[in-house]
Chain A
């Protein structure tokens, strides 16, 4: 098993965090993991992306030009990375603010309205966990329990009361696809 994933969007949308949670979940499931961020001034706004690879064998390149799965969270990312999805792969995007829809037919294109779902959960910070839920429903590479265990390990204890909300967001995301 090897899954090569790119998550891209605006800085502040939780792109890097979403990748990190996924990487931790991989660690919990005893997989080999690489998490390779764009580390420029993007974290202060602009576009940010992260490449996450999960594999049951050693990982060679942490830098890739095509991906099994792409999660694109703004128009720029969608425009830039739609053609980087391998044939037969998956493209997840958030339709809010998208004017030009993806056109490829050789991949599975899945809109996930995580923005709306996070409003329903009354917490915009659940945005990336909703998307992660959707991603894991489509590509069950790690179990939700691994995600929650990873989250528990990475979140400082003072934030542990947010774990149930994160689980709720994950399940909400799964129900959207």
Chain B
């Protein structure tokens, strides 16, 4: 398959991108608003072309443990779900992190807590960026704002996961999952051969071969001195990720006197609000974190020395605002504006919140 321009939903784009990346397996269980990922994969039947396995598991828990199994053998495997389903996967995700396994997890967030609503949300920010499961670990969290990024972050997520041997997550909101946009699909990459896999993943449990000992993949270590060493190694990986993999995008920040920080689709709604604000002479800029972990602390820290106040806009009760406050180190007031339960703010509401919460004189 060559590069191709298509019109499709973000969820469909994830499925196409996974096949074209040369992923080895997808294990999932349907849940709105991300069911199109599994549906599209089933429709495209990649097992007949690239040999990619697509399997509807009996539950979210089964799916993440199939990912654990596949990842242990060095295969590029993934799962996707939406908020309540991702909660179910947390034990498996913690095990993946502790076993230093690469994997891609997609969460197309819906409103919570509980079974909540099927409408869009960003209320899983804490769960995604602060661990989610038990123990000291982080996932690399990518936050797409366009259907193109839904596509591109599949390859990026897998590449980063393999580079650092840690799971990566695409943390999308229901809007970008359900919305259709123009997208450029990358050309088909071949799946890795067994030889390539053995060379690239010397840790993988894929048969002893000519190795002296079998590889054992486990998260269990009964000797505390060794378990502490494991933890120190994980932390060193996280330090390297924080040093090298921060990604964010700035808009209108050169002359900004105020700053909005927002991620995912909400950042685009904010951009429209900012365009309206600038027409009224309010000099406001936008910082959109692309990686929510590692968080763009330095970029926000730097801007906090330039602006008079910061507003975060989120589809939650105020989660990323805490990271922005830490990054701003109390230099300027940092406020939050959010809608919850599946409600989406419009540009006018955001502009009103900006003016009110940051006390901007007009």
- Chain A interfacial positions (CB closer than 8 Å to B): 20, 23-24, 27, 32-37, 39-40, 59-65
Contacts and interface: CB of A to CB of B under 8 A. Distances in A.
Interface string B105-142: 00000000000001100000000000000000000000
Contacts of A64: 272, 346-347
Contact of A63 (B7, B33, B175): B175
A63 B181 contact: no
Given A23-B180, A61-B273, 16 more contacts: A20-B180, A27-B182, A32-B181, A33-B7, A39-B32, A39-B33, A60-B268, A61-B271, A61-B272, A62-B175, A62-B265, A62-B268, A62-B269, A63-B175, A63-B345, A65-B349
A65 B350 CA distance: 11
Interface residues of B, number: 27
Contacts of B346: 63-65
A49 B61 CA distance: 35
Contact of B181 (A33, A39, A60): A33
Interface centre among A24, A40, A62, A65 (most CB of B within 10 A): A62
B179 A36 contact: yes
The 6 tightest CB contacts between A and B, nearest first, are: A61-B272, A65-B346, A35-B180, A60-B271, A61-B269, A60-B272
Interface in B315-339: none
A24 B7 CA distance: 7
A63 B348 CA distance: 11
B178 A32 contact: no
Contacts of A63: 175, 265, 269, 344-347
B275 interface: yes
25 contacts: A20-B180, A23-B7, A23-B180, A27-B7, A27-B182, A32-B181, A32-B182, A33-B181, A33-B182, A34-B179, A34-B181, A35-B180, A36-B179, A36-B180, A39-B32, A39-B33, A60-B271, A60-B272, A61-B271, A61-B273, A61-B347, A63-B175, A63-B269, A63-B344, A63-B345
